[in-house]
């Protein structure tokens, strides 16, 4: 099934503001949806299910107000359920999502199968985060409506597949919704993803550096100063391929070029506290991730301004293709 026309008509761009751990919160999601792009967030960003209920109520109420104010339905919000078996909160988070009647859900880090029936019974569209053709096939078998293709260049835990090859491989057997994640630096990239056969694109790194994100100011400033070569692919922090910012690793007292092997870093022991003023440095909170699109981060605008700029770039790219 392609992207429903009723949803597509509410978008100013075929774009999802990607769900980012400790970064995506109500202010970012509300601003994204009001600007006409899908606003997503990991339910794990809420410390408790009660907080998740509060976030969903706040965001839902705001989007209803936006519809009343403008006479036009905003883009939908989209919770991201981390469905890995180690996440004991999945049933409770799922129940909260169903209580608030969300239209769209992303599943990640595991099979979507356990949550599919209740979500589909509620009329919810389900997108599954996948990093390989095998994962895509399993998600399709589970009954998802769309696939988020995690390609090389995504921030945080990343994919390894070339986006051009991945999209075309998936399109040989799947005619449902396809979303490209990884390296979305501007509107031109979104237009290119669409030309390749995608319905939507994920943009994460540039949304970290917005005024509404939950990221620390120092994180946002580092993104502005960083370039592509400052993104380091490493397994040292999580045991999985992860794109992290070299300057944040160095600021924590570690040498980015001499990190321990896969998943070997013990944050409490391996960082030299005498060389820094943060003895409690933590992965994600103080050692930060970024995608290959970091070179496109030039300042810290509002979400609305970022979407406006990106929409202008997208429109220019589409006009250029039409002229050819």
pLDDT digits (tens, 9 = 90+) for 256-288: 999 877 665 554 444 443 333 444 445 556 889
- C-alpha span between 141 and 124 (Å, rounded): 17
What the block records as the tokens of 220 is 């946002």
Distance between alpha carbon 256 and the CA centroid of its chain, in Å? 25
Name the residue among 291, 287, 180 with its Cα closest to residue 228. Answer: 291
Token pair 């960083």 in the structure block, residue: 226
φ, ψ (nearest 5 deg) of residue 299:
-160, -170
DSSP at 43? G
Q: What is the pLDDT of residue 272?
A: 40
Domain boundaries, the chain: 5-213+299-323, 227-275
- What percentage of the chain has pLDDT greater than the value 90? 80
What is the per-residue pLDDT across 83-107, written as a single tens digit (0 to 9) for each? 988 888 999 999 999 999 999 999 9
Residues 6+ apart with CB under 8 A from 240: 157
CATH number of 5-213+299-323: 3.20.20.70
Residues 6+ apart with CB under 8 A from 105: 78, 79, 80, 81, 97, 115, 119, 124, 125, 126, 127
Threshold 0.85, pTM exceeds? yes
What is the per-residue pLDDT across 33-67, written as a single tens digit (0 to 9) for each? 999 999 999 999 999 999 999 999 999 999 999 99
What is the per-residue pLDDT across 95-140, written as a single tens digit (0 to 9) for each? 999 999 999 999 998 899 999 999 999 999 999 999 999 999 999 9
Q: What mean pLDDT, rounded, does the chain reach?
A: 91
């Amino acid at each position: 099934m392609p992207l429903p026309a009723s949803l597509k008509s509410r978008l100013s761009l075929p774009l999802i503001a990607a769900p980012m751990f400790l970064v995506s919160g109500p202010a970012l999601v509300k601003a994204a949806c009001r600007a006409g792009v899908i606003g997503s967030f990991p339910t794990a960003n809420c410390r408790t299910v009660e907080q998740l209920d509060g976030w969903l109520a706040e965001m839902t109420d705001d989007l209803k107000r936006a519809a009343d104010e403008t006479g036009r339905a905003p883009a939908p919000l989209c919770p991201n359920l981390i469905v890995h078996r180690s996440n004991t909160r999945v049933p409770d988070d799922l129940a909260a999502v169903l209580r608030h009647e969300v239209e769209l859900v992303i599943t990640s880090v595991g099979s979507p199968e356990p949550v599919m029936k209740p979500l589909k019974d509620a009329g919810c569209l389900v997108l599954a985060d996948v990093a390989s053709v095998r994962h895509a096939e399993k998600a399709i078998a589970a009954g998802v409506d769309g696939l988020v293709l995690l390609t090389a260049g995504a921030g945080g835990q990343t994919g390894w597949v070339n986006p051009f090859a991945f999209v075309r491989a998936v399109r040989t057997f799947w005619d449902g919704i396809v979303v490209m994640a990884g390296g979305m630096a501007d509107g031109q990239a979104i237009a290119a993803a669409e030309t390749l056969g995608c319905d939507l694109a994920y943009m994460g790194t540039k949304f970290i550096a917005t005024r509404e994100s939950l990221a620390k100011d120092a994180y946002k400033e580092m993104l502005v100063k960083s370039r592509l070569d400052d993104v380091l692919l490493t397994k040292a922090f999580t045991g999985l391929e992860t794109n992290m910012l070299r300057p944040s690793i160095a600021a924590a007292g570690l040498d980015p070029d001499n990190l321990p092997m896969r998943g070997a870093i013990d944050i409490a022991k391996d960082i030299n506290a005498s060389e820094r003023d943060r003895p409690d440095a933590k992965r994600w909170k103080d050692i930060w991730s970024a995608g290959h699109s970091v070179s496109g981060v030039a300042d810290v605008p509002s979400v609305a301004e970022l979407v406006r700029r990106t929409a202008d770039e997208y429109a220019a790219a589409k006009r250029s293709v039409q002229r050819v």
